[in-house]
Amino acid sequence: MSMITERPVSNSAGQPPVRTVGEAPATGRRDVRAVVAAYVALTKPRIVELLLVTTVPAMMLADGGMPSLWLVAVVLVGGSLAAGAASVLNCYIDRDIDQLMRRTKRRPLPAHTVTPRNALVFGLVLAVISVALMAAATNWLAAGLTLAAIAYYDLVYTLWLKRTTAANTFWGGACGAAPVLIGWAAVTGSLAPAAWGLFAVVFFWQMPHFYALAIKYKADYARAGIPMLPVVASVRRVNAEIIVFSWLTLLSSLAVWPLGMSPIYGVTALVVGGIFVVEAHKLCRRAARGEAVKPMRLFHWSTTYLTILFAAVALDALI
């Protein structure tokens, strides 16, 4: 719909203002863009992207090839809405601590670009739409897992575990690994050993991934009173968990190999998993020596690792 505005037009004849069709004030356009950007930011798009990296390859492996594009599209949309809903509700619940952390104080709620009430409504609407879409277009198992992931992430992890225990990353790991199960269930209506194997990979991967981030923002978490492991535990304890869970990630990925996977996946899992473990050991050695640990190196490589591994899952399924 075009907008009709009136603005004065300067001319030598001194004519009255003319009406311009289809033109809105620049400030109005900027305001709309800012509001849209704020609501998009609440959904944490980067997290959504990472979750989808694991979902589609899991669907392909479950199908033994390429599922119907309609089903893939439905799961991608439903999964994106579900992940976005969980993130919006997370922002709503965490608005008190987000304003205390440098990393999060510019988010829409601490910055007061979106009101808490509007964020809550937005998150709940996204959650209802995502679960309804999964139920209508896939099956009840996939829809139930979607609902459970949203509820667990916001009500169990964000509201309770995150604020009360240093094991919050471990117990919250099921949420991040859930898209693997959801994608598999959407294709088959059930869960097979390979699905649980890939779930284990993502589950264990999250500990070194998020511990690296927590090391980087240790002061932020301490300021907000969040008992992330690097805040409340010794360097030795943090190092031990990073190494243990990095090895468990590698071993879990290799355990999937005999579950119908070819050497394409197996060799990839061995190589990139080995690099992941080496990077984890390097970080821990630097930390033990009191050197600059460069935690974001492990954080970024862990993201690359997961992307490559699941690309190998997709390629294996196609071949």
Shared domain check, 169 and 69: yes
Which pairs count as long-range contacts for 144-153, CB under 8 Å and 24+ apart, including other chains?
A: 145/178, 145/181, 145/182, 145/185, 146/78, 146/79, 146/82, 146/178, 146/182, 148/178, 149/82, 149/86, 149/174, 149/175, 149/178, 149/179, 149/182, 150/82, 150/85, 150/86, 150/89, 153/86, 153/90
Q: Are residues 169 and 205 both part of a single domain?
A: no
pLDDT surpassing 60 at residue 17: no
For residue 6, the model assigns a pLDDT of 39
The pLDDT > 90 percentage for the chain reads 83
**Final residue in a domain of this structure, among 144, 175, 206:** 175
Q: How far is CA 66 from CA 51, 137, 319, in A?
A: 19, 17, 10
Q: What is the CATH number of the domain that holds 41?
A: 1.10.357
The enclosing domain of 236 has a CATH number of: 1.20.120.1780
Q: What is the pLDDT of residue 33?
A: 87
Provide the pLDDT confidence category of residue 27 given band limits of 50, 70 and 90.
low
Residue at which a domain ends, from 149, 175, 201: 175
| Residues 212 and 158 both lie in one domain | no
> What's the pTM value of the predicted model, to 2 decimals?
0.88
- Would you state the pLDDT for residue 46? 84
CA dihedral 77, 54, 164, 288 (to 10 degrees): -150
**Structural domain contains residue 257:** yes
Is the same domain home to 163 and 225? no
Give the mean pLDDT of the chain.
90
Q: Pull the structure tokens for residue 296.
A: 């974001």
The residue with greater pLDDT, 1 or 36, is: 36
Please report, in angstroms and rounded to a whole number, the separation of the first and last CA atoms in the chain: 49
Between residues 22 and 251, the one the model is more confident about: 251
One domain, residues 204 and 304 = yes
Angle at 15 between CA 13 and CA 18, to 5 degrees: 140
Residue pLDDT, tens place only, 51-94: 789 999 999 999 999 999 999 999 999 999 999 999 999 999 99
Q: What is the pLDDT of residues 240-276, one digit of tens each?
A: 999 999 999 999 999 999 999 999 999 999 999 999 9
Q: Residue 303, SS3?
A: helix
Mean pLDDT, rounded, for 9-18: 45
Residue-range definition of the domain harbouring residue 68 = 35-175
Buried-state track 27-63, b at ≥16 Cβ within 10 A, e below 16: eeeeeeeeeeebbebbbbeeebebbbbbbbbbbbbbb
Same domain, 103 and 204: no
Cβ neighbour number for residue 259 with a 10 Å cutoff:
15
What per-residue confidence (pLDDT) applies to 319? Answer: 87
Number of domains in the chain: 2
**What pLDDT shows up at residue 13?**
44
**Cα-flanking dihedrals φ and ψ of residue 32, to 5°?**
-65, -45
| DSSP-based three-state secondary structure for 7 | strand
> Which residue has better confidence, 30 or 233?
233
Residue 161 belongs to a domain: yes
Q: What's the pLDDT tens digit per position in 218-241?
A: 999 999 999 999 999 999 999 999
Q: How far is CA 84 from the centre of its chain?
A: 9
| Residues 287/235, Cβ–Cβ less than 8 Å | yes
Q: Same domain, yes or no, for 39 and 168?
A: yes
Q: Which of 16-30, 132-146, 182-196, 287-301 is least confident? A: 16-30
One domain, residues 105 and 171: yes
Q: pLDDT-derived band of residue 24, with 50, 70 and 90 as boundaries?
A: very low
